[in-house]
Amino acid sequence: MALPRKLKHLNLFNDGNNWQGIVESLTLPKFTRKYEKYRGGGMPGAVDVDLGLDDSALDTEFSIGGTELLLFKQMGKATVDGIQLRFTGSIQRDDTGEVQAVELVVRGRHKEVDSGEWKTGESNTTKVTSTNSYAKLTINGEVLYEVDLINMVEIVDRCGPDGSAPQTPSALDISERRGIPRQNPIYRTAK
């Protein structure tokens, strides 16, 4: 019998600002996929066709103690990756004492900053919902997933969604804008 790994420590770096002692909780991205039923001629039943990630697959929520002005200032970010949040922490098994580092890096913008009710003499918290265009989850030095919606990167356990090579811009032959040479034979010039 084994005991589960439980979160023991959590910290947040908001655009490089250390919020140790301020961050209280984090809800990881749900990382959900979008499927559509397909039933072609001769098929006795329908199958789910993978259409990529759900629209809110990379969204995160976190809460902090009190109020931080930076959150309100960040609400005006114009770009879909304007805010970088880096959550760090550790998970530990209480039967073996094994500790593993956890890191979640997301880039996006805040959809909601909810300061809740303020009352004299009582503690308040601020809840933040962020919609993200980039997310990377690393546990114990192993990248479990990295998704960059803008740059067409989806790597899960170092594989693409179907278990083959990752679907990256170079694999889709659209990466020349980054100076990466195209590998597809159709782009080779005739001699």
Residue 177 lies in a domain: no
Q: Which domain holds residue 21?
A: 5-32+47-150
Averaged pLDDT in 10-residue chunks for the chain of 191 residues: 92 95 96 94 94 95 96 94 97 94 97 94 95 97 95 80 53 44 41 42
Predicted confidence at residue 162, as pLDDT, reads 54
Cβ neighbour number for residue 44 with a 10 Å cutoff: 5
Bridge pairing between strands 33-38 and 60-65 = unpaired
User: Rg (Cα) of the chain, in Å, rounded?
Assistant: 21
Predicted confidence at residue 106, as pLDDT, reads 98
Question: Long-range contacts of range 43-50, CB-CB < 8 Å, 24 or more positions apart?
Answer: 50/161, 50/162
Residue 180 lies in a domain: no
Predicted confidence at residue 157, as pLDDT, reads 77
CA angle centred on 116, ends 111 and 56, rounded to 5°: 25
Residue 135 lies in a domain: yes
Predicted confidence at residue 104, as pLDDT, reads 98
Residue 59 lies in a domain: yes
Predicted confidence at residue 168, as pLDDT, reads 52
Number of domains present in the structure of the chain: 1
Instruction: Look at residues 65, 78, 72 and name the one whose alpha carbon lies nearest to residue 124.
Output: 65
Q: Which two tokens stand for residue 173?
A: 């032959």
Predicted confidence at residue 176, as pLDDT, reads 42
Residue 143 lies in a domain: yes
Q: What is the CATH number of the domain that holds 80?
A: 2.30.110.20
Residue 102 lies in a domain: yes
